C-alpha cells in the first residue's frame, strides 16, 4: 500500500516550512518514529518523523523548497516493509559510492546562526569544512564561502522574525478565543529545595536534578487526578487526553521560545524526567526538536525563576486549556508557627480556560500541585 | 596544561554544551549569565562537562565560581593544583 508522508503542523499557527534536508533516499527502509527529514520552521529546524513502517518510494519535494502544511513530501510503500526488501532495481553502487553515501549520514555539526545564514545565502552546508569546536561549521565558515552560484528559489524568511510572528499569531488567537482566568498562590518550597540540595550533594554530578523537574512532575500528577487542565479544546468541546504530556517552555538565547513535551510525564521518574528535560533544552537551543515533541503538549509549564521574576501570568497555548507558571524560588520572610522565618517561596500561577473550568477548580488544582511539592521524595 | 590551554579547552566545552554560543564572541571577564542568558541547566551541563574533562567534581555550592571564563579557569587552577 502506498502512504503519503505529509508536512505536519507543529503548532496551531504554523502554515508552512522549508525542507532543508532528507535523511532518506528512495529504496530506504524506515520505521515508525524514524527521523526522515529536517524542516526549517518558525520554531527552528525540526526533525520530522514518519508514523508508519515502510520503504521510501519517492521524494517529492527537493531541499530548499518552502511548502504549506499538509503538502505531500514523499511516498512510502507500507506493505513492502514486512518482508525483506527486494534489491532496489537500480545498478548497485560501487564501494566508493557507498562510502560517499555513508559520509553524508553523520549529522553536520553547525551552529544555529550558521545554519540560518547558510539558508539565507543558499550555501550547501554539506560542502563546508568547519573550523569550530569538533569541526563544527561556524558563521564565519559560511560567510567565507559566500552564496552558491545557483540559489534555490523559495528559501524561507524564517528565523527570529518568523518565530516572533508565530508567537504573536498564537497568543493573539489565544487572547481572542480563550476566556482566561488567572490564579496565583505562594508556595513554601523549602522542603523541595532542601531535598534537592541533599540529593544533589549525595549523587554524582551527572545525576543532579533541577527544581523545574520537580515542578513538572507535580503538575503532571495533579493533571492526572483532576480533569479540566490537561487536554485540548476543539470544535467547542474539551477533550481530556488520557496521557499527560507536560510541555516545558524553553527560552532561546536569540529571543523567542518553544515548548516541547516531556512525553507521558506522570509515569516517569525524576531522573528520567531530568534526562528528558536536559535533552529537550539542548535540542531546542540547537534547533533539533522533533515534530512529535512540538505537537504533543497537553499543558505547559513556564518557569521564569531564572529571570528573578516573582509571578508569571501565563497565556494558554491553543488548543490547550491551561498553563502553569512558576516564578523564582527566593528566600523571603514567611510565618511558621507564629514566627517570621526565612523560607524558599515560589509563586505558582495558573492561566486556565473558563470554557472548561472555574476559579474554584483552578484553586484546587494549584493547591494539589503545592501539596505534591511538599513531599518531594514521593514525586 | 597551562592557563591558556585550560581556557581554550573550557571554551570548547562551553560551546559544546551551548552550541548556539559563538566561541569567539565570549568575553572572558563577563559572567556567562550576563552574556548569553546562561541558566541553571547550562550551569549543570557545564559542571558535568568539567567533571568529564578535568575530573573535578564541582559541588553546587561552588557554582558561583563557574560564573565567567576567567573565574572558571582560576577555580580549575586551584582545584587541580
Q: State whether residue A29 sits within 8 Å of chain B by CB.
A: no
A95: CB partners within 8 A, 6+ apart:
none
Closest by Cα among A81, A85, A76, A68 to A49: A76
Q: For chain A, what percent of residues have pLDDT higher than 70? A: 79
What's the pLDDT at A161? 78
- Residue located via cell numbers 516550512: A17
Closest by Cα among A48, A31, A37 to A82: A31
Alpha helix stretches (DSSP H) within chain A: 95-104, 112-121, 139-145, 160-177, 190-202, 211-225, 270-286, 291-295, 359-373
Partner-chain contact A210 B59, CB within 8 Å: no
Q: Which residues in chain A land under pLDDT 70? A: 11-13, 80-109, 111-129, 132-135, 141-159
Measured in whole angstroms, the distance separating CA A23 from the mean position of its chain's CA atoms is: 20
What's the pLDDT at A90? 39
What's the pLDDT at A153? 32
Q: What is the DSSP string of B34-79?
A: HHH---HHHHHHHHHHHHHHH-----GGGGGGGSSHHHHHHHHHHH
Partner-chain contact A285 B18, CB within 8 Å: yes
Looking at this predicted complex, what is its ipTM?
0.90
Give me B22's grid cell. 559563538
pLDDT digits (tens, 9 = 90+) for B2-32: 888 899 999 999 988 888 788 888 999 999 9
Partner-chain contact A286 B19, CB within 8 Å: yes
pLDDT digits (tens, 9 = 90+) for A79-136: 755 544 443 333 343 344 333 333 333 345 676 666 666 665 555 555 566 776 666 7
What residue of A is the nearest CA neighbor of B13?
Answer: A133
Q: What is the DSSP string of A102-117?
A: HHH-SPPPB-HHHHHH
What's the pLDDT at A82? 52
Rounded Cα gap, residues A212 and A329, in angstroms = 10
Residues of A with CB below 8 A from B57's CB?
A: 204-205
Q: State whether residue B12 sits within 8 Å of chain A by CB.
A: yes
- Residue located via cell numbers 516517569: A268
Partner-chain contact B45 A278, CB within 8 Å: yes
What DSSP element (H or E) covers B14?
helix B3-17
CA distances to A34, A55, A59, A97, A133 from A28, in Å: 12, 6, 11, 16, 32
What's the pLDDT at A127? 56
Of A201, A205, A281, the CB nearest to B48: A205
Q: State whether residue A277 sits within 8 Å of chain B by CB.
A: yes
Rounded Cα gap, residues B4 and A248, in angstroms = 38
Rounded Cα gap, residues A239 and A174, in angstroms = 17
Interface with chain A: mutation pick from B23, B41, B52, highest number of A CBs within 10 Å: B41
Rounded Cα gap, residues A308 and A272, in angstroms = 27
Q: State whether residue B20 sits within 8 Å of chain A by CB.
A: yes
Residues of B with CB below 8 A from A206's CB?
A: 48, 51
What's the pLDDT at A341? 97
Amino acid at each position: 500500500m502506498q502512504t503519503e508522508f505529509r508536512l505536519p503542523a507543529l503548532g496551531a499557527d504554523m502554515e508552512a516550512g522549508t525542507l532543508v534536508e532528507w535523511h532518506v533516499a528512495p529504496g530506504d527502509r524506515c520505521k515508525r518514529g524514524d527521523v526522515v527529514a529536517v524542516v526549517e520552521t518558525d520554531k527552528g529546524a525540526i526533525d520530522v518523523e514518519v508514523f508508519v513502517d515502510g520503504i521510501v518510494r519517492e521524494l517529492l519535494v527537493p531541499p530548499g523548497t518552502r511548502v504549506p502544511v499538509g503538502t505531500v513530501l514523499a511516498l512510502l510503500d507500507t506493505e513492502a516493509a514486512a518482508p525483506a526488501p527486494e534489491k532496489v532495481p537500480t545498478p548497485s553502487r560501487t564501494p566508493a559510492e557507498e562510502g560517499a553515501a555513508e559520509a553524508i549520514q553523520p549529522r553536520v555539526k553547525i551552529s544555529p546562526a550558521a545554519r540560518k545564514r547558510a539558508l539565507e545565502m543558499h550555501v550547501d552546508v554539506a560542502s563546508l569544512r568547519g573550523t569550530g569546536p569538533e569541526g563544527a561549521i561556524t558563521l564565519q565558515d559560511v560567510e567565507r564561502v559566500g552564496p552558491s552560484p545557483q540559489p534555490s528559489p523559495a528559501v524561507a524568511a524564517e528565523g527570529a522574525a518568523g518565530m516572533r510572528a508565530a508567537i504573536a499569531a498564537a497568543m493573539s488567537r489565544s487572547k481572542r478565543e480563550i476566556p482566561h482566568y488567572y490564579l496565583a498562590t505562594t508556595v513554601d518550597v523549602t522542603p523541595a529545595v532542601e531535598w534537592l540540595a541533599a540529593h544533589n550533594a549525595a549523587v554524582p554530578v551527572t545525576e543532579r536534578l533541577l527544581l523545574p523537574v520537580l515542578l513538572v512532575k507535580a503538575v503532571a500528577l495533579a493533571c492526572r487526578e483532576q480533569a479540566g487542565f490537561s487536554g485540548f479544546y476543539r470544535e467547542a468541546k474539551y477533550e481530556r487526553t488520557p496521557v499527560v504530556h507536560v510541555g516545558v517552555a524553553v527560552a532561546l538565547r536569540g529571543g523567542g521560545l518553544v515548548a516541547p513535551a516531556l512525553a507521558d510525564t506522570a509515569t516517569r521518574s525524576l531522573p528520567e524526567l531530568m534526562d528528558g528535560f536536559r535533552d529537550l533544552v539542548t535540542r531546542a537551543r540547537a534547533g533539533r526538536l522533533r515534530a512529535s515533541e512540538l505537537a504533543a503538549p497537553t499543558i505547559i509549564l513556564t518557569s521564569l525563576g531564572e529571570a528573578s521574576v516573582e509571578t508569571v501570568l501565563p497565556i494558554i497555548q491553543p488548543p490547550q486549556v491551561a498553563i502553569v507558571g512558576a516564578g523564582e524560588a527566593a528566600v523571603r520572610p514567611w510565618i511558621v508557627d507564629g514566627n517570621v522565618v526565612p523560607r524558599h517561596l515560589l509563586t505558582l500561577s495558573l492561566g486556565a480556560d473558563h470554557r472548561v473550568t472555574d476559579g474554584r477548580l483552578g484553586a484546587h488544582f494549584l493547591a494539589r500541585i503545592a501539596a505534591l511539592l511538599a513531599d518531594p521524595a514521593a514525586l | 596544561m597551562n592557563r591558556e590551554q585550560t581556557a581554550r579547552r573550557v571554551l570548547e566545552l562551553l560551546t559544546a554544551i551551548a552550541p548556539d554560543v559563538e566561541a569567539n564572541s565570549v568575553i572572558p571577564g563577563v559572567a556567562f549569565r550576563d552574556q548569553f542568558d546562561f541558566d541553571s541547566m547550562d550551569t549543570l551541563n557545564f559542571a558535568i562537562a568539567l567533571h568529564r574533562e578535568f575530573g573535578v567534581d564541582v559541588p553546587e555550592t561552588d557554582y558561583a565560581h563557574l560564573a565567567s571564563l576567567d573565574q572558571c579557569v582560576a577555580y580549575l587552577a586551584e582545584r587541580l593544583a
